[in-house]
């Protein structure tokens, strides 16, 4: 089964299993699905939650396996208004949607909230391995099956025809100690640099390094990127590789349908406004990746949610339960107006 088929089956099957969680009656909550405890997603989620906390809106930051689980969670999990997803997940869902009724059902109602930042594809390997094609015949951890890392690693190995690597379904937290102890040869990790997993670990530069990923066949799907020298203690030189875009997803709630949809739509509108007008604060105080965010860089073929558009209007006021301090806005009204226009296209 190739990576494309694996992705589609995971989305469709998981969507069916999770549909029961949408039953009415549970107390209303606001949740954002992120990733593992050491990843960039969870730090981005905490930054967004902090914006809400300033005006008394509680947003729970939920750990997850990653992009695939987050996409399905936004579609089918109650009290899950937001999820962070990789753009290659979206691209291949769109590829399958046109000719597959099951996939059409799985993606129905899921919408873009905002595009975020590029996520670099880290491959940490033994020092004697020089490139991705050298992973042939090696033991390689590619992430767990509900994660975006699993999809991206599978696609990259398939595109480069590294078919005889032993692909192990381990998440990066599990894979790092196994690499350091010699049990595996390399592992993939898709995360916005600097990823705390690498920043906080004691990795010997003489024995391990990040692989360059510059093969031309990959550039049709992924964006060329670079991790600057010294981003991690073990990494003295810049590393050229590829990246995917992290995207904040939501659901297109209908406020006329019932109280849950109405409250969830308000939540989406509130946080759309908070992020749009608080981007400068996020760039100053949040994860370093906020500095690279372009809220207008929409993936092709995906619509912005109607509740998002409500929150982007100039006169929208979030339903705060306490008066926040005046937000530090981008400070450029023309830019904000242009951004609103582009997101509504």
- What is the pTM assigned to this prediction? 0.80
Q: Is the peptide bond before 262 cis (omega within 30 degrees of 0)?
A: no
**Average pLDDT in the chain:** 86
Indicate the SS3 state at residue 219.
Answer: helix
For 331-341, the pLDDT digits (tens) are 445 445 656 66
The percent of residues in the chain predicted with pLDDT above 70, rounded, is: 85
Distance CA(82)–CA(45), nearest Å, equals 9
* pLDDT attached to residue 298: 81
* pLDDT attached to residue 323: 67
The top-level CATH class assigned to 119-245 is alpha beta
**Cβ burial, residue 100 (10 Å; 0-12/13-18/19+):** middle
* C-alpha to C-alpha distances, 120 to 194, 236, 247, nearest whole angstrom: 9, 17, 14
Give the domain ranges of the chain.
3-117+246-343, 119-245
* pLDDT attached to residue 332: 45
> Residue 186's beta-bridge partner residues?
125, 140
For 226-268, the pLDDT digits (tens) are 999 999 999 999 999 999 999 999 999 999 999 999 999 999 9
The top-level CATH class assigned to 3-117+246-343 is alpha beta
* pLDDT attached to residue 88: 81
The 8-class DSSP code of residue 226 comes to E
* pLDDT attached to residue 25: 54
The 8-class DSSP code of residue 205 comes to T
Q: Which residue has the higher pLDDT, 161 or 329?
A: 161
* C-alpha to C-alpha distances, 274 to 53, 134, 327, nearest whole angstrom: 11, 46, 8
């Amino acid at each position: 089964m190739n990576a494309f088929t694996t992705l589609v089956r995971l989305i469709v099957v998981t969507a069916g299993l999770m549909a029961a969680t949408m039953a009415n009656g549970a107390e209303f909550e606001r949740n954002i699905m992120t990733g593992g405890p050491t990843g960039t997603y969870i730090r981005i989620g905490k930054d967004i939650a902090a914006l809400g906390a300033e005006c008394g809106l509680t947003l729970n930051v939920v750990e997850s396996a990653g992009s695939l689980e987050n996409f399905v969670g936004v579609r089918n999990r109650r009290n899950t208004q937001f999820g962070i997803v990789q753009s290659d997940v979206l691209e291949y869902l769109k590829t399958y949607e046109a000719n597959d009724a099951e996939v059409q059902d799985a993606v129905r109602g899921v919408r873009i909230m905002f595009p975020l930042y590029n996520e670099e594809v880290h491959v940490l390997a033994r020092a004697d391995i020089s490139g991705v094609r050298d992973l042939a015949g090696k033991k390689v951890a590619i992430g767990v099956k509900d994660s975006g890392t699993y999809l991206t690693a599978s696609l990259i190995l398939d595109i480069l025809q590294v078919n005889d690597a032993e692909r192990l379904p381990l998440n990066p937290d599990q894979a790092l100690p196994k690499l350091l102890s010699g049990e595996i040869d390399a592992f993939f990790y898709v995360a916005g640099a600097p990823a705390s997993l690498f920043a906080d670990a004691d990795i010997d530069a003489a024995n391990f390094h990040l692989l360059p990923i510059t093969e031309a066949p990959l550039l049709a799907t992924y964006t060329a990127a670079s991790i600057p020298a010294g981003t991690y203690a073990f990494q003295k030189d810049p590393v050229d590789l590829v990246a995917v875009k992290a995207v904040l997803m939501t659901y297109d709630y209908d406020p006329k349908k019932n109280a849950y949809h109405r409250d969830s739509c308000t939540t989406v509108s509130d946080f759309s406004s908070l992020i749009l007008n608080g981007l400068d604060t996020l760039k100053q105080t949040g994860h370093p990746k906020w500095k690279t965010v372009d809220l207008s860089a929409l993936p092709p073929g995906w619509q912005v949610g109607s509740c998002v558009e409500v929150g982007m209007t100039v006169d929208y006021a979030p339903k705060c339960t306490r008066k926040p301090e005046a937000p530090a806005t981008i400070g450029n009204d023309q830019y904000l107006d242009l951004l609103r226009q582009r997101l509504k296209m």
